[in-house]
Chains A and B, each alone.
Chain A
Amino acid sequence: MSIVHYQLSIILITEFEGTISPKSAGVRYNANYEFCFSLFMIIARKKTLEIWEKSPVWKDVKRYWELLSVLVPQNLKVRYRGSLLGIYWSLLNPIIMTVLYSTIFGTTFASYYDDSITNYVLAAVNGLLVVNFFNASTTQALVSIVESGDLLNKIKLPIPVFPMSMIGANIFQFMVGSFPLLAIVTLVKTHSLFSVILLLLPFSLLIVVCTGISLFVSSLYVFFRDLSYFYEIATFVAWITSPVFYPPDIVPEAVKPFINLNPLVPVIQIFRQVSLEGRFPESIYLIHGFCSGIIILTLGWLFVRRVQSAFMDLL
Protein backbone atom coordinates (compact mmCIF):
# COMPACT_ATOMS: atom_id res chain seq x y z
CA MET A 1 0.00 0.00 0.00
CA SER A 2 2.51 2.53 1.19
CA ILE A 3 4.94 1.73 -1.61
CA VAL A 4 2.20 2.39 -4.15
CA HIS A 5 1.51 5.70 -2.48
CA TYR A 6 5.15 6.63 -2.56
CA GLN A 7 5.52 5.74 -6.20
CA LEU A 8 2.42 7.71 -6.99
CA SER A 9 3.80 10.80 -5.30
CA ILE A 10 7.06 10.41 -7.18
CA ILE A 11 5.18 10.23 -10.45
CA LEU A 12 3.21 13.32 -9.53
CA ILE A 13 6.36 15.21 -8.67
CA THR A 14 8.10 14.25 -11.88
CA GLU A 15 5.01 15.14 -13.85
CA PHE A 16 4.94 18.56 -12.33
CA GLU A 17 8.56 19.04 -13.14
CA GLY A 18 7.97 17.73 -16.62
CA THR A 19 5.25 20.20 -17.46
CA ILE A 20 6.78 23.36 -16.10
CA SER A 21 9.84 23.76 -18.19
CA PRO A 22 9.00 26.21 -20.98
CA LYS A 23 12.58 26.45 -22.18
CA SER A 24 12.80 22.80 -23.03
CA ALA A 25 9.63 23.10 -25.05
CA GLY A 26 11.34 25.73 -27.13
CA VAL A 27 8.79 28.45 -26.37
CA ARG A 28 10.05 32.00 -26.72
CA TYR A 29 8.49 33.61 -23.69
CA ASN A 30 7.99 37.27 -22.76
CA ALA A 31 7.84 38.94 -19.39
CA ASN A 32 4.17 38.27 -19.02
CA TYR A 33 4.68 34.65 -19.66
CA GLU A 34 7.53 34.61 -17.23
CA PHE A 35 5.29 36.00 -14.52
CA CYS A 36 2.66 33.37 -15.16
CA PHE A 37 5.35 30.78 -15.21
CA SER A 38 6.81 31.79 -11.86
CA LEU A 39 3.34 31.88 -10.36
CA PHE A 40 2.76 28.43 -11.69
CA MET A 41 6.11 27.38 -10.28
CA ILE A 42 5.07 28.55 -6.84
CA ILE A 43 1.77 26.71 -7.00
CA ALA A 44 3.43 23.62 -8.35
CA ARG A 45 6.12 23.77 -5.72
CA LYS A 46 3.48 24.08 -3.02
CA LYS A 47 1.63 21.15 -4.44
CA THR A 48 4.71 18.99 -4.62
CA LEU A 49 5.57 20.04 -1.07
CA GLU A 50 2.15 18.92 0.13
CA ILE A 51 2.51 15.61 -1.63
CA TRP A 52 5.98 15.25 -0.24
CA GLU A 53 4.81 15.94 3.32
CA LYS A 54 2.20 13.25 3.10
CA SER A 55 4.52 10.66 1.64
CA PRO A 56 5.80 7.85 3.86
CA VAL A 57 9.37 8.82 3.05
CA TRP A 58 8.81 12.20 4.62
CA LYS A 59 7.31 10.51 7.67
CA ASP A 60 10.36 8.29 7.93
CA VAL A 61 12.69 11.25 7.64
CA LYS A 62 10.75 13.05 10.36
CA ARG A 63 10.79 10.01 12.63
CA TYR A 64 14.55 9.63 12.16
CA TRP A 65 15.04 13.29 12.87
CA GLU A 66 12.95 13.15 16.06
CA LEU A 67 14.80 10.08 17.27
CA LEU A 68 18.21 11.52 16.49
CA SER A 69 17.32 14.75 18.22
CA VAL A 70 16.94 12.86 21.50
CA LEU A 71 19.48 10.08 21.01
CA VAL A 72 22.39 12.32 20.04
CA PRO A 73 22.11 14.60 23.11
CA GLN A 74 21.68 11.47 25.21
CA ASN A 75 24.97 10.07 23.89
CA LEU A 76 26.71 13.35 24.56
CA LYS A 77 25.24 13.79 28.02
CA VAL A 78 26.24 10.32 29.08
CA ARG A 79 29.72 10.86 27.70
CA TYR A 80 30.41 14.25 29.19
CA ARG A 81 28.26 14.29 32.32
CA GLY A 82 27.41 17.95 32.23
CA SER A 83 30.85 19.32 31.39
CA LEU A 84 31.25 20.13 27.73
CA LEU A 85 34.87 20.97 28.42
CA GLY A 86 35.38 17.24 28.26
CA ILE A 87 35.24 17.57 24.48
CA TYR A 88 38.55 19.39 24.55
CA TRP A 89 40.14 16.42 26.22
CA SER A 90 39.51 14.57 23.01
CA LEU A 91 41.91 16.98 21.30
CA LEU A 92 44.70 15.88 23.60
CA ASN A 93 45.35 12.70 21.67
CA PRO A 94 45.76 14.30 18.21
CA ILE A 95 47.90 17.11 19.60
CA ILE A 96 50.30 14.78 21.39
CA MET A 97 50.49 12.56 18.32
CA THR A 98 51.25 15.51 16.09
CA VAL A 99 54.00 16.74 18.35
CA LEU A 100 55.48 13.28 18.53
CA TYR A 101 55.43 12.54 14.83
CA SER A 102 56.62 16.03 13.91
CA THR A 103 59.68 15.74 16.11
CA ILE A 104 60.55 12.33 14.72
CA PHE A 105 59.60 12.60 11.01
CA GLY A 106 59.30 16.36 10.62
CA THR A 107 62.84 17.11 9.41
CA THR A 108 62.92 14.14 7.05
CA PHE A 109 59.64 14.88 5.35
CA ALA A 110 59.84 18.68 5.42
CA SER A 111 61.32 18.67 1.90
CA TYR A 112 57.98 17.42 0.58
CA TYR A 113 56.24 20.36 2.23
CA ASP A 114 58.21 23.31 0.78
CA ASP A 115 60.99 22.73 3.32
CA SER A 116 58.76 23.89 6.12
CA ILE A 117 58.17 21.88 9.25
CA THR A 118 55.17 24.07 9.98
CA ASN A 119 53.53 22.94 6.77
CA TYR A 120 54.22 19.36 7.71
CA VAL A 121 52.67 19.86 11.14
CA LEU A 122 49.58 21.51 9.68
CA ALA A 123 49.14 18.77 7.07
CA ALA A 124 49.51 16.21 9.83
CA VAL A 125 46.86 17.90 11.99
CA ASN A 126 44.46 17.90 9.06
CA GLY A 127 44.92 14.24 8.37
CA LEU A 128 44.92 13.24 11.99
CA LEU A 129 41.61 14.92 12.79
CA VAL A 130 40.02 13.11 9.85
CA VAL A 131 41.36 9.71 10.85
CA ASN A 132 40.45 10.32 14.47
CA PHE A 133 36.88 11.17 13.55
CA PHE A 134 36.68 8.03 11.47
CA ASN A 135 38.08 5.78 14.19
CA ALA A 136 36.04 7.24 17.03
CA SER A 137 32.70 7.39 15.25
CA THR A 138 32.81 3.98 13.61
CA THR A 139 34.22 2.21 16.66
CA GLN A 140 31.50 3.69 18.85
CA ALA A 141 28.86 2.86 16.25
CA LEU A 142 30.10 -0.74 16.01
CA VAL A 143 28.41 -1.86 19.24
CA SER A 144 25.47 0.55 19.04
CA ILE A 145 22.83 -1.84 17.71
CA VAL A 146 23.75 -4.61 20.14
CA GLU A 147 23.75 -2.19 23.05
CA SER A 148 20.25 -1.12 22.15
CA GLY A 149 19.10 -4.73 21.96
CA ASP A 150 16.97 -4.49 25.08
CA LEU A 151 15.20 -1.48 23.73
CA LEU A 152 14.66 -2.98 20.30
CA ASN A 153 13.00 -5.96 21.96
CA LYS A 154 10.44 -3.69 23.63
CA ILE A 155 9.67 -0.95 21.15
CA LYS A 156 9.60 -0.94 17.38
CA LEU A 157 12.37 1.38 16.24
CA PRO A 158 14.22 1.90 12.99
CA ILE A 159 17.51 0.10 13.51
CA PRO A 160 19.85 2.38 11.49
CA VAL A 161 19.07 5.20 13.89
CA PHE A 162 21.43 3.78 16.51
CA PRO A 163 24.69 3.84 14.53
CA MET A 164 23.57 7.15 13.07
CA SER A 165 23.14 8.63 16.54
CA MET A 166 26.77 7.76 17.30
CA ILE A 167 27.86 9.56 14.15
CA GLY A 168 25.67 12.49 15.20
CA ALA A 169 27.34 12.73 18.61
CA ASN A 170 30.75 12.71 16.93
CA ILE A 171 29.69 15.41 14.47
CA PHE A 172 28.79 17.65 17.38
CA GLN A 173 32.04 16.84 19.08
CA PHE A 174 33.97 17.62 15.89
CA MET A 175 32.20 20.91 15.37
CA VAL A 176 32.92 22.04 18.91
CA GLY A 177 36.39 20.57 19.35
CA SER A 178 38.26 19.97 16.11
CA PHE A 179 36.56 22.37 13.74
CA PRO A 180 37.68 25.57 15.51
CA LEU A 181 41.24 24.25 15.35
CA LEU A 182 40.93 23.57 11.63
CA ALA A 183 39.28 26.94 11.10
CA ILE A 184 42.19 28.73 12.78
CA VAL A 185 44.71 26.82 10.68
CA THR A 186 42.72 27.66 7.56
CA LEU A 187 42.39 31.33 8.44
CA VAL A 188 46.09 31.65 9.17
CA LYS A 189 47.09 29.91 5.97
CA THR A 190 44.55 31.30 3.53
CA HIS A 191 43.14 34.51 5.11
CA SER A 192 39.84 33.57 3.59
CA LEU A 193 36.56 32.98 5.36
CA PHE A 194 35.26 31.20 2.30
CA SER A 195 37.85 28.48 2.76
CA VAL A 196 36.66 27.97 6.32
CA ILE A 197 33.10 27.47 5.08
CA LEU A 198 34.38 25.25 2.31
CA LEU A 199 35.83 22.94 4.97
CA LEU A 200 32.28 21.68 5.46
CA LEU A 201 32.48 20.02 2.04
CA PRO A 202 35.16 17.44 2.90
CA PHE A 203 33.61 17.09 6.34
CA SER A 204 30.24 16.12 4.89
CA LEU A 205 32.07 13.63 2.68
CA LEU A 206 33.70 12.21 5.77
CA ILE A 207 30.29 11.90 7.46
CA VAL A 208 28.87 10.01 4.47
CA VAL A 209 31.78 7.57 4.48
CA CYS A 210 31.62 7.02 8.24
CA THR A 211 27.85 6.54 8.22
CA GLY A 212 28.07 3.90 5.51
CA ILE A 213 30.79 1.99 7.30
CA SER A 214 29.02 2.30 10.65
CA LEU A 215 25.80 0.88 9.24
CA PHE A 216 27.72 -2.04 7.83
CA VAL A 217 29.92 -2.92 10.81
CA SER A 218 27.22 -2.38 13.44
CA SER A 219 24.96 -4.87 11.63
CA LEU A 220 27.77 -7.32 11.26
CA TYR A 221 28.51 -7.02 14.98
CA VAL A 222 25.04 -8.38 15.75
CA PHE A 223 26.13 -11.67 14.24
CA PHE A 224 29.77 -11.69 15.28
CA ARG A 225 30.50 -10.33 18.70
CA ASP A 226 34.25 -10.79 18.36
CA LEU A 227 34.24 -8.31 15.52
CA SER A 228 35.69 -5.52 17.63
CA TYR A 229 39.02 -7.33 17.59
CA PHE A 230 38.99 -7.55 13.80
CA TYR A 231 37.72 -4.03 13.48
CA GLU A 232 40.67 -2.79 15.48
CA ILE A 233 42.92 -4.28 12.82
CA ALA A 234 40.79 -2.70 10.09
CA THR A 235 41.03 0.77 11.64
CA PHE A 236 44.76 0.31 11.98
CA VAL A 237 44.98 -0.49 8.27
CA ALA A 238 42.91 2.60 7.48
CA TRP A 239 45.20 4.61 9.70
CA ILE A 240 48.46 3.44 8.14
CA THR A 241 47.21 3.67 4.58
CA SER A 242 46.03 7.23 5.11
CA PRO A 243 48.79 9.73 4.25
CA VAL A 244 48.70 11.45 7.62
CA PHE A 245 52.29 11.58 8.78
CA TYR A 246 53.93 10.79 5.48
CA PRO A 247 53.65 12.60 2.16
CA PRO A 248 51.51 10.61 -0.31
CA ASP A 249 54.36 10.90 -2.83
CA ILE A 250 56.61 8.44 -1.01
CA VAL A 251 54.22 5.55 -1.65
CA PRO A 252 55.56 3.34 -4.48
CA GLU A 253 53.62 3.69 -7.73
CA ALA A 254 52.67 0.02 -7.71
CA VAL A 255 51.08 0.33 -4.28
CA LYS A 256 49.22 3.59 -4.92
CA PRO A 257 46.07 2.07 -6.49
CA PHE A 258 45.59 -0.03 -3.36
CA ILE A 259 46.11 2.94 -1.08
CA ASN A 260 43.47 4.78 -3.07
CA LEU A 261 40.94 2.14 -2.07
CA ASN A 262 40.99 3.76 1.33
CA PRO A 263 38.03 6.17 1.21
CA LEU A 264 39.78 8.50 3.67
CA VAL A 265 42.53 9.35 1.18
CA PRO A 266 40.48 11.73 -1.01
CA VAL A 267 38.83 13.22 2.08
CA ILE A 268 42.20 14.07 3.60
CA GLN A 269 43.48 15.50 0.31
CA ILE A 270 40.41 17.72 -0.07
CA PHE A 271 40.75 18.90 3.52
CA ARG A 272 44.37 19.85 2.88
CA GLN A 273 43.69 21.61 -0.40
CA VAL A 274 40.97 23.71 1.18
CA SER A 275 42.60 24.52 4.47
CA LEU A 276 46.31 24.75 3.55
CA GLU A 277 46.29 25.84 -0.07
CA GLY A 278 43.06 27.82 0.08
CA ARG A 279 41.76 26.65 -3.26
CA PHE A 280 38.76 24.81 -4.49
CA PRO A 281 39.53 21.07 -4.29
CA GLU A 282 40.65 19.32 -7.44
CA SER A 283 37.81 17.60 -9.21
CA ILE A 284 39.62 14.27 -9.32
CA TYR A 285 39.55 14.11 -5.51
CA LEU A 286 35.98 15.35 -5.40
CA ILE A 287 34.79 12.70 -7.84
CA HIS A 288 36.81 10.00 -6.10
CA GLY A 289 35.54 11.09 -2.69
CA PHE A 290 31.91 11.43 -3.66
CA CYS A 291 31.77 8.20 -5.58
CA SER A 292 33.33 6.14 -2.81
CA GLY A 293 31.16 7.93 -0.23
CA ILE A 294 27.93 7.26 -2.07
CA ILE A 295 28.89 3.67 -2.82
CA ILE A 296 29.82 2.96 0.80
CA LEU A 297 26.68 4.60 2.15
CA THR A 298 24.42 2.77 -0.28
CA LEU A 299 26.04 -0.58 0.42
CA GLY A 300 25.89 0.00 4.17
CA TRP A 301 22.25 0.97 4.00
CA LEU A 302 21.31 -1.95 1.77
CA PHE A 303 23.19 -4.33 4.04
CA VAL A 304 21.25 -3.27 7.14
CA ARG A 305 17.97 -3.51 5.24
CA ARG A 306 18.89 -6.94 4.00
CA VAL A 307 19.92 -8.52 7.28
CA GLN A 308 17.87 -6.67 9.88
CA SER A 309 15.04 -9.20 9.87
CA ALA A 310 17.49 -11.66 11.41
CA PHE A 311 18.57 -9.24 14.14
CA MET A 312 15.74 -9.73 16.57
CA ASP A 313 16.50 -13.41 17.10
CA LEU A 314 20.05 -12.58 18.11
CA LEU A 315 19.62 -9.50 20.29
Chain B
Amino acid sequence: MKVIHELSNIRLRGRKTNRLTNINLKIYSGEKIALLGKSGSGKSSLISIANGALYPDEGHVLFKGENIHRINQKKRQKIATIWQELLLIDELSSIQNVNCGALGKNNLIWAIRNLTGTLNPHFSSLCLLAAGLPAVYHNANIKLLSGGQRQRIAIARMLRQEAELLLADEPFSNLDPTLVKQTLNLLQSRTLNEKVSPPKTILVSLHRPDLIKSFDRIIGLREGKIIINKSVNEINELDINYLYS
Protein backbone atom coordinates (compact mmCIF):
# COMPACT_ATOMS: atom_id res chain seq x y z
CA MET B 1 0.00 0.00 0.00
CA LYS B 2 1.02 3.56 -0.69
CA VAL B 3 1.93 6.01 2.09
CA ILE B 4 -0.29 9.05 1.70
CA HIS B 5 0.67 11.01 4.80
CA GLU B 6 3.75 10.86 6.92
CA LEU B 7 4.79 12.50 10.17
CA SER B 8 8.44 11.99 10.98
CA ASN B 9 10.40 12.86 14.12
CA ILE B 10 7.88 15.47 15.16
CA ARG B 11 8.56 17.45 18.29
CA LEU B 12 6.29 20.26 19.47
CA ARG B 13 7.32 22.29 22.47
CA GLY B 14 4.83 23.57 24.97
CA ARG B 15 5.25 26.12 27.74
CA LYS B 16 7.02 23.73 30.11
CA THR B 17 7.14 20.29 28.57
CA ASN B 18 6.99 18.93 25.07
CA ARG B 19 3.47 18.62 23.80
CA LEU B 20 4.60 16.04 21.27
CA THR B 21 7.83 14.07 21.26
CA ASN B 22 9.37 11.90 18.60
CA ILE B 23 6.20 11.26 16.65
CA ASN B 24 6.65 8.96 13.68
CA LEU B 25 3.50 7.99 11.87
CA LYS B 26 2.81 6.70 8.38
CA ILE B 27 -0.73 6.74 7.08
CA TYR B 28 -1.39 4.41 4.17
CA SER B 29 -3.94 5.11 1.50
CA GLY B 30 -7.36 3.68 2.38
CA GLU B 31 -6.59 3.16 6.06
CA LYS B 32 -9.04 3.98 8.84
CA ILE B 33 -7.06 4.92 11.94
CA ALA B 34 -8.30 5.69 15.41
CA LEU B 35 -6.17 7.96 17.59
CA LEU B 36 -6.72 7.23 21.28
CA GLY B 37 -5.54 8.97 24.38
CA LYS B 38 -6.62 10.82 27.50
CA SER B 39 -7.50 14.46 27.16
CA GLY B 40 -4.28 16.42 27.19
CA SER B 41 -2.32 13.55 25.68
CA GLY B 42 -1.61 15.57 22.53
CA LYS B 43 -4.31 14.32 20.15
CA SER B 44 -5.41 17.79 19.03
CA SER B 45 -1.82 18.95 18.67
CA LEU B 46 -1.03 15.95 16.54
CA ILE B 47 -3.97 16.66 14.27
CA SER B 48 -3.04 20.33 13.99
CA ILE B 49 0.50 19.33 13.06
CA ALA B 50 -0.79 16.77 10.58
CA ASN B 51 -2.99 19.27 8.74
CA GLY B 52 -0.38 22.00 8.78
CA ALA B 53 -2.12 24.44 11.11
CA LEU B 54 0.80 24.21 13.51
CA TYR B 55 4.49 24.16 12.67
CA PRO B 56 6.41 21.49 14.54
CA ASP B 57 9.59 22.57 16.32
CA GLU B 58 11.38 19.59 14.88
CA GLY B 59 10.61 17.08 12.17
CA HIS B 60 8.37 17.38 9.17
CA VAL B 61 5.05 16.32 7.72
CA LEU B 62 4.88 14.90 4.21
CA PHE B 63 1.69 14.67 2.22
CA LYS B 64 2.20 12.36 -0.76
CA GLY B 65 5.92 12.80 -0.28
CA GLU B 66 5.92 16.63 -0.20
CA ASN B 67 6.36 18.88 2.81
CA ILE B 68 2.93 20.03 3.86
CA HIS B 69 4.05 23.62 4.30
CA ARG B 70 5.30 23.80 0.74
CA ILE B 71 2.56 22.06 -1.22
CA ASN B 72 0.25 24.08 -3.39
CA GLN B 73 -3.34 24.92 -2.54
CA LYS B 74 -4.66 22.26 -4.85
CA LYS B 75 -2.94 19.50 -2.91
CA ARG B 76 -3.91 21.02 0.41
CA GLN B 77 -7.54 20.75 -0.59
CA LYS B 78 -7.07 16.98 -0.50
CA ILE B 79 -6.71 17.11 3.29
CA ALA B 80 -9.91 17.77 5.22
CA THR B 81 -10.18 18.42 8.93
CA ILE B 82 -13.10 18.24 11.32
CA TRP B 83 -12.06 20.37 14.26
CA GLN B 84 -13.01 19.70 17.81
CA GLU B 85 -14.55 23.17 18.05
CA LEU B 86 -16.04 22.64 14.56
CA LEU B 87 -15.07 26.23 13.62
CA LEU B 88 -18.34 26.85 11.86
CA ILE B 89 -19.21 30.41 10.99
CA ASP B 90 -22.14 31.42 13.16
CA GLU B 91 -23.05 34.32 10.94
CA LEU B 92 -23.83 32.07 7.96
CA SER B 93 -26.56 29.56 7.14
CA SER B 94 -26.01 25.80 7.01
CA ILE B 95 -25.70 25.76 3.22
CA GLN B 96 -23.26 28.67 3.23
CA ASN B 97 -21.16 26.91 5.83
CA VAL B 98 -21.07 23.75 3.76
CA ASN B 99 -20.07 25.75 0.70
CA CYS B 100 -17.03 26.88 2.69
CA GLY B 101 -15.70 23.38 2.06
CA ALA B 102 -15.35 24.29 -1.61
CA LEU B 103 -13.72 27.71 -1.06
CA GLY B 104 -10.36 26.30 -2.04
CA LYS B 105 -11.56 25.15 -5.43
CA ASN B 106 -13.18 28.45 -6.26
CA ASN B 107 -12.08 32.05 -6.56
CA LEU B 108 -12.83 35.13 -4.48
CA ILE B 109 -15.85 36.11 -6.56
CA TRP B 110 -17.40 32.73 -5.81
CA ALA B 111 -16.61 33.30 -2.13
CA ILE B 112 -18.42 36.62 -2.18
CA ARG B 113 -21.34 35.13 -4.08
CA ASN B 114 -21.63 32.48 -1.39
CA LEU B 115 -21.97 35.26 1.18
CA THR B 116 -24.77 36.81 -0.81
CA GLY B 117 -26.48 33.41 -1.00
CA THR B 118 -26.74 33.43 -4.77
CA LEU B 119 -24.97 30.15 -5.49
CA ASN B 120 -26.67 26.99 -6.62
CA PRO B 121 -27.09 25.02 -3.37
CA HIS B 122 -27.58 21.61 -4.97
CA PHE B 123 -24.27 19.93 -4.17
CA SER B 124 -24.12 21.31 -0.65
CA SER B 125 -27.67 20.15 0.01
CA LEU B 126 -26.67 16.67 -1.01
CA CYS B 127 -23.75 16.81 1.41
CA LEU B 128 -26.01 17.96 4.23
CA LEU B 129 -28.50 15.22 3.48
CA ALA B 130 -25.71 12.67 3.37
CA ALA B 131 -24.51 13.93 6.74
CA GLY B 132 -28.04 13.47 8.03
CA LEU B 133 -29.30 17.04 8.33
CA PRO B 134 -32.87 17.30 7.03
CA ALA B 135 -33.63 19.90 4.36
CA VAL B 136 -35.63 22.15 6.73
CA TYR B 137 -32.42 23.17 8.44
CA HIS B 138 -30.49 23.95 5.30
CA ASN B 139 -31.18 27.68 5.35
CA ALA B 140 -31.34 28.00 9.09
CA ASN B 141 -29.37 30.39 11.22
CA ILE B 142 -26.85 27.93 12.63
CA LYS B 143 -26.58 29.73 15.95
CA LEU B 144 -29.99 28.28 16.75
CA LEU B 145 -29.05 24.67 15.96
CA SER B 146 -28.13 21.98 18.49
CA GLY B 147 -24.63 20.63 19.01
CA GLY B 148 -25.43 17.48 17.07
CA GLN B 149 -26.87 19.41 14.15
CA ARG B 150 -23.83 21.64 14.03
CA GLN B 151 -21.60 18.59 14.09
CA ARG B 152 -23.39 17.28 11.01
CA ILE B 153 -22.87 20.61 9.24
CA ALA B 154 -19.16 20.30 9.92
CA ILE B 155 -19.23 16.79 8.48
CA ALA B 156 -21.14 18.01 5.43
CA ARG B 157 -18.58 20.76 4.93
CA MET B 158 -15.87 18.12 5.01
CA LEU B 159 -17.78 16.07 2.43
CA ARG B 160 -18.14 19.13 0.21
CA GLN B 161 -14.38 19.45 0.17
CA GLU B 162 -14.04 16.08 -1.62
CA ALA B 163 -10.75 15.37 0.10
CA GLU B 164 -8.68 12.19 0.08
CA LEU B 165 -7.53 12.34 3.68
CA LEU B 166 -9.70 13.18 6.66
CA LEU B 167 -8.30 14.25 9.99
CA ALA B 168 -11.06 14.42 12.56
CA ASP B 169 -10.67 15.64 16.13
CA GLU B 170 -13.27 14.01 18.38
CA PRO B 171 -16.10 14.20 15.84
CA PHE B 172 -18.37 12.10 18.04
CA SER B 173 -18.20 14.10 21.23
CA ASN B 174 -21.50 15.94 20.71
CA LEU B 175 -23.48 13.07 19.29
CA ASP B 176 -25.91 10.66 20.86
CA PRO B 177 -25.33 6.91 20.36
CA THR B 178 -27.53 6.56 17.26
CA LEU B 179 -25.84 9.49 15.58
CA VAL B 180 -22.42 8.13 16.47
CA LYS B 181 -23.32 4.95 14.71
CA GLN B 182 -24.69 6.77 11.67
CA THR B 183 -21.62 8.92 11.41
CA LEU B 184 -19.28 5.98 11.75
CA ASN B 185 -21.17 4.24 8.95
CA LEU B 186 -20.96 7.35 6.86
CA LEU B 187 -17.21 7.55 7.25
CA GLN B 188 -16.80 3.86 6.45
CA SER B 189 -18.90 3.83 3.31
CA ARG B 190 -17.66 4.17 -0.23
CA THR B 191 -20.31 6.44 -1.70
CA LEU B 192 -23.22 8.10 0.02
CA ASN B 193 -25.29 9.16 -2.93
CA GLU B 194 -24.69 9.87 -6.61
CA LYS B 195 -22.19 12.65 -5.99
CA VAL B 196 -20.96 12.56 -2.45
CA SER B 197 -18.30 10.22 -1.17
CA PRO B 198 -16.25 10.46 2.03
CA PRO B 199 -12.44 10.54 2.02
CA LYS B 200 -10.86 7.12 1.63
CA THR B 201 -8.22 7.61 4.29
CA ILE B 202 -9.25 8.59 7.77
CA LEU B 203 -7.54 9.47 11.03
CA VAL B 204 -10.03 10.03 13.83
CA SER B 205 -9.16 10.97 17.39
CA LEU B 206 -11.41 9.47 20.04
CA HIS B 207 -11.52 9.05 23.72
CA ARG B 208 -14.02 6.26 23.66
CA PRO B 209 -12.25 2.92 23.33
CA ASP B 210 -15.57 1.16 22.66
CA LEU B 211 -15.67 2.59 19.15
CA ILE B 212 -12.38 1.20 17.93
CA LYS B 213 -13.86 -1.86 16.32
CA SER B 214 -14.79 0.21 13.27
CA PHE B 215 -11.14 1.06 12.55
CA ASP B 216 -8.20 -0.79 11.01
CA ARG B 217 -5.39 0.53 13.12
CA ILE B 218 -5.09 2.08 16.57
CA ILE B 219 -2.59 4.74 17.57
CA GLY B 220 -2.28 5.34 21.29
CA LEU B 221 -0.95 8.62 22.56
CA ARG B 222 0.27 9.23 26.07
CA GLU B 223 2.00 12.39 27.25
CA GLY B 224 2.82 13.36 23.71
CA LYS B 225 4.36 10.08 22.69
CA ILE B 226 3.05 7.26 20.54
CA ILE B 227 2.96 4.23 22.76
CA ILE B 228 0.62 2.01 20.78
CA ASN B 229 0.67 1.49 17.06
CA LYS B 230 -1.11 -1.76 16.26
CA SER B 231 -3.68 -3.26 14.01
CA VAL B 232 -7.07 -3.31 15.71
CA ASN B 233 -6.98 -7.11 15.94
CA GLU B 234 -3.85 -7.06 18.04
CA ILE B 235 -5.21 -4.61 20.59
CA ASN B 236 -6.00 -6.01 24.01
CA GLU B 237 -7.51 -4.76 27.23
CA LEU B 238 -4.08 -4.15 28.78
CA ASP B 239 -3.07 -1.72 26.08
CA ILE B 240 -6.20 0.29 26.60
CA ASN B 241 -5.89 0.28 30.35
CA TYR B 242 -2.32 1.44 30.16
CA LEU B 243 -3.32 4.25 27.84
CA TYR B 244 -5.91 5.57 30.24
CA SER B 245 -4.20 4.86 33.54
B is a partner of A: no
